[in-house]
């Protein structure tokens, strides 16, 4: 059973928007640890809630459209119920809320983003995003290592 | 904005559907709804930009039409390509494609019922729009939300196990499938069947127990005579993969049977209206618009004599008891969707325990032997046609797609008019009125991205117009 889940999401056909998906694909190919589950996906869907509830730490990877292009950010994510017009895609906070409310477990979660500058149809990244990808992957790997060293494990919520 | 004579309401966007659209309601001088239109306002053009591409690329290319039902497009496209190759695919490939398609129906129906429509059914049509979502369901009946998530995951995981990924898999290819099923994957899928079956049974039981609460909606949600169209097996059984086209009328009488899907231009006309990019197909012998027909779960159960699996057959018999004629109310799409989920899970088990299912012979290889091919299957939302013409080099020269949501276009428009006439009064829309108009559309589970090939998002609005053509009210919700 994996302890860390990496969810990289985005549209690989929309230039920088595909960052999370592409990084997840590369981490998936390089990953040999049974403790780490890496899933590239187009968007966060409610059916990922159960998977998220089974691990201690979730690492989200996405491209942001706000901020300085090429800037890497890492922040902790807290669970929060979804938007009113919710249909079938979720924010990371809403996915955690679903995991907590449906399956009684809310894992720790971190969000890694790079601010993109081009979201037009295309399969390549803008230079500012492309140049940051190695650094982003190194940061994610460190976060995974830290999570695996953490013996306290998941934060149990009362269901 | 106000006019002395006539009024108009706009609903934009229509929420909890796949894609976006706009509704306009025309009021008469007395403030009563006189006309209604469902507009789909953007265009994608898959039929045009595939021209010049090698036909072998078509399944993977066409799967990009939709992120919800790529598998249906893969299957219809691959079947059209099989016709271009003029091959009969290996029996195991045939069965594996069926499994793929059934998994697709389960996950798509689960999304439609649990994620998009269950808030209306559980919380009521007058519920606070801010609560009418899966989180609202979670609060009131968490087991329903959990079941929905689990069932969709069950379908998605089958697609992932067979196709390598959940969205836009390219495992279905001209001539068969690219890889055989492994024993490991078969056993993993089979292990999930009992729980999926239990969820399907439980949800059907719950739905039937609350149907009485929706008498008014059953009576007014697209409850009108129309034809119903779907594929059936030679014995009249329910199928999602292949068979002949059967059409029944509102009395439940068979109007046409055993029609070859490849001959669809002979019996399906395609009308284009200036106010929508969504085509309006109709049954050609009845003319336009009298040839209005419905497809999808309600139609499939109306045209099928039997399911061919034990529990679904019992449920189908009960479904047919809802009305002595064909079951007419579009509200019953929900019921039909649940019966189909039950059928799919039972049928998955039958196919996965077939002794041939692990055979390694899963692809027939050939070059193009025909310059024209039609592929047809039942997508979750209804009958799907892909029709291609190629040149001697195997390049696509012409393509036509007939998508489930398009088949239902005339019926959705008529249904919106009926529900608006029943529930909308005066110049202002209450949230309950608005939601009932939207909920009618949700019964069809339309996929506008599929059916218009639109690029990007299509916000949908309800607009209220008066008899002078002035817009007097407009409702927009955040996407």
Give the mean model confidence (pLDDT) for residues B222-230.
96
pLDDT tens-digit readout, B7-45: 667 766 565 555 566 788 888 888 888 888 888 766 667
As for how many domains chain A has, the answer is: 1
Tokens of B4: 């002395």
**Domain-located, residue B22:** yes
Domain, as residue range, for B437: 7-44+422-475
- Taking residue A93's Cβ as centre, other Cβ atoms within 10 Å add up to 16
Query: Could A87 and B16 be called an inter-chain contact, meaning their C-beta atoms sit closer than 8 Å?
Result: yes
Looking at B284-352, list the stretches that DSSP marks H as alpha helix, in order from N- to C-terminal side. 297-303, 310-320, 333-352
**Domain-located, residue B427:** yes
**Domain-located, residue B84:** no
Nearest to B139 by CA among B123, B152, B127, B125: B123
CATH of the domain at A89: 3.40.50.1450
Is B16 touching A (CB cutoff 8 A)? yes
> What span, in angstroms and rounded, lies between the C-alpha atoms of B289 and B292?
6
Interface residues of chain A, partner chain B, Cβ below 8 Å = 41-42, 45-47, 49-50, 81-88, 94, 97-98, 101-103
ipTM computed for the complex: 0.75
Is B459 touching A (CB cutoff 8 A)? no
DSSP codes, B381-400 = TEEEEEEEEE-TTSBEEEEE
What integer pLDDT is reported at residue B279 of this predicted model? 84
pLDDT tens-digit readout, B170-204: 899 999 999 999 999 999 999 999 999 999 999 99
For A85, which of B15, B166, B167 is closest by C-beta distance?
Answer: B15
- Taking residue B94's Cβ as centre, other Cβ atoms within 10 Å add up to 17
Where b means 16+ CB within 10 Å and e means fewer, B369-380 reads eeeebbbbbbbb
pLDDT tens-digit readout, B110-135: 999 998 899 999 999 888 877 888 88
What integer pLDDT is reported at residue B2 of this predicted model? 38
SS3 A85: coil
**Domain-located, residue B358:** no
**Domain-located, residue B454:** yes
Domain, as residue range, for A23: 4-156
pLDDT band at B452 (very low <50, low <70, confident <90, very high): very low
- Model's pTM, two decimal places? 0.86
Q: Which residue has the higher pLDDT, B4 or B126?
A: B126
For B167, which of A42, A86, A87 is closest by C-beta distance?
Answer: A42
**Domain-located, residue B369:** no
- Contacts of residue B131 in chain A, CB cutoff 8 Å? 84
Comparing A135-139, B53-57, B68-72, B144-148, which segment has the lowest mean pLDDT?
Answer: B68-72
What is the distance between the terminal CA atoms of chain B, rounded to a whole angstrom? Answer: 25
Distance from CA of B206 to the nearest CA of A (A): 19
Residue A150 pLDDT more than 80? no
Tokens of B294: 């419905």
Residue B309 pLDDT more than 80? yes
pLDDT band at A46 (very low <50, low <70, confident <90, very high): confident
For B150, which of A50, A84, A87 is closest by C-beta distance?
Answer: A50
Is the Cβ–Cβ distance between B343 and B304 less than 8 Å? no
As for how many domains chain B has, the answer is: 1
Q: What value does the mean pLDDT of chain B take?
A: 89
- Contacts of residue A85 in chain B, CB cutoff 8 Å? 15-16, 133, 477-479
Is B426 touching A (CB cutoff 8 A)? no
> What span, in angstroms and rounded, lies between the C-alpha atoms of B102 and B30?
49
Query: Could A82 and B135 be called an inter-chain contact, meaning their C-beta atoms sit closer than 8 Å?
Result: yes
Is the Cβ–Cβ distance between B98 and B351 less than 8 Å? yes
């Amino acid at each position: 059973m994996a302890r860390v889940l990496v969810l990289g999401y985005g549209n690989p056909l929309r230039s920088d928007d595909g960052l999370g998906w592409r990084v997840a694909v590369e981490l998936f190919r390089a990953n040999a640890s049974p403790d780490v589950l890496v899933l590239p996906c187009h968007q966060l869907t409610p059916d990922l809630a159960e998977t998220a509830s089974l691990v201690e730490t979730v690492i989200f990877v996405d491209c942001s459209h706000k901020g300085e292009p090429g800037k890497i950010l890492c922040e902790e994510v807290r669970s929060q119920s979804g938007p009113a017009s919710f249909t079938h895609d979720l924010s990371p906070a809403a996915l955690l809320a679903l995991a907590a409310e449906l399956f009684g477990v809310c894992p720790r979660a971190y969000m890694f983003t790079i601010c993109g500058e081009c979201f037009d149809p295309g399969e390549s990244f803008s230079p500012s995003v492309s140049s940051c990808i190695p650094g982003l992957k190194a940061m994610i790997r460190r976060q995974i290592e830290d999570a695996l060293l953490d013996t306290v494990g998941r934060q149990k919520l009362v269901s | 904005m106000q006019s002395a004579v006539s009024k108009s309401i706009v609903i934009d966007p229509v929420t909890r559907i796949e894609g976006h659209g706009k509704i306009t309601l025309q009021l008469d001088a007395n403030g009563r709804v006189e006309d209604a239109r469902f507009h789909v306002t953007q265009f994608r053009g898959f039929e045009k930009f595939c021209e010049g591409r090698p036909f072998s690329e078509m399944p993977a290319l066409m799967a990009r039409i939709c992120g919800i039902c790529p598998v249906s497009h893969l299957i219809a496209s691959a079947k059209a390509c099989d016709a271009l190759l003029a091959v009969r695919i290996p029996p195991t490939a045939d069965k594996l494609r069926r499994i793929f398609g059934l998994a697709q129906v389960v996950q798509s129906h689960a999304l439609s019922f649990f994620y998009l429509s269950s808030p209306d059914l559980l919380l009521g049509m007058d519920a606070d729009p801010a609560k009418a979502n899966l989180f609202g369901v979670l609060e009131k009946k968490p087991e329903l939300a959990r079941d929905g998530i689990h069932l969709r995951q069950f379908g998605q995981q089958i697609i992932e196990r067979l196709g390598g990924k959940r969205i836009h898999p390219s495992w279905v290819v001209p001539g068969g499938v690219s890889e055989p099923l492994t024993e490991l994957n078969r056993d993993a899928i089979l292990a999930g069947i009992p729980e999926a079956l239990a969820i399907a049974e439980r949800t059907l039981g719950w739905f039937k127990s609350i149907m009485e609460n929706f008498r008014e909606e059953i009576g007014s949600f697209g409850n009108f005579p129309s034809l119903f169209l779907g594929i059936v097996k030679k014995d009249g059984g329910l199928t999602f993969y292949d068979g002949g086209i059967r059409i029944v009328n509102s009395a439940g009488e068979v109007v046409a049977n055993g029609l070859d899907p490849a001959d669809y231009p002979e019996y399906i006309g395609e009308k284009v209206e200036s106010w929508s990019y969504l085509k309006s197909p109709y049954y050609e012998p009845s003319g336009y618009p009298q040839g209005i027909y419905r497809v999808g779960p309600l139609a499939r159960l109306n045209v099928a004599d039997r399911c061919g699996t034990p529990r679904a057959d019992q449920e189908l018999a009960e479904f047919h008891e809802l009305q002595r004629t064909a079951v007419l109310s579009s509200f019953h799409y929900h019921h039909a969707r649940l019966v189909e989920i039950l059928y799919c899970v039972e049928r998955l088990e039958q196919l996965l325990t077939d002794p041939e299912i692990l055979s390694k012979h899963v692809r027939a290889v050939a070059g193009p032997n025909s310059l024209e091919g039609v592929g047809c299957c039942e997508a979750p939302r209804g009958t799907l046609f892909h029709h291609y013409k190629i040149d001697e080099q195997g390049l696509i020269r012409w393509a036509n797609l007939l998508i489930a949501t398009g088949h239902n276009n005339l019926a959705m428009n008529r249904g919106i008019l009926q529900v608006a006439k029943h529930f909308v009064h005066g110049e202002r829309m209450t949230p309950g009125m608005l939601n009932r108009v939207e909920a009618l559309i949700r019964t069809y589970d339309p996929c506008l991205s599929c059916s218009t090939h639109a690029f990007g998002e299509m916000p949908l609005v309800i607009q209220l117009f008066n008899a002078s053509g002035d817009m007097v009210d407009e409702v927009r919700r955040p996407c």
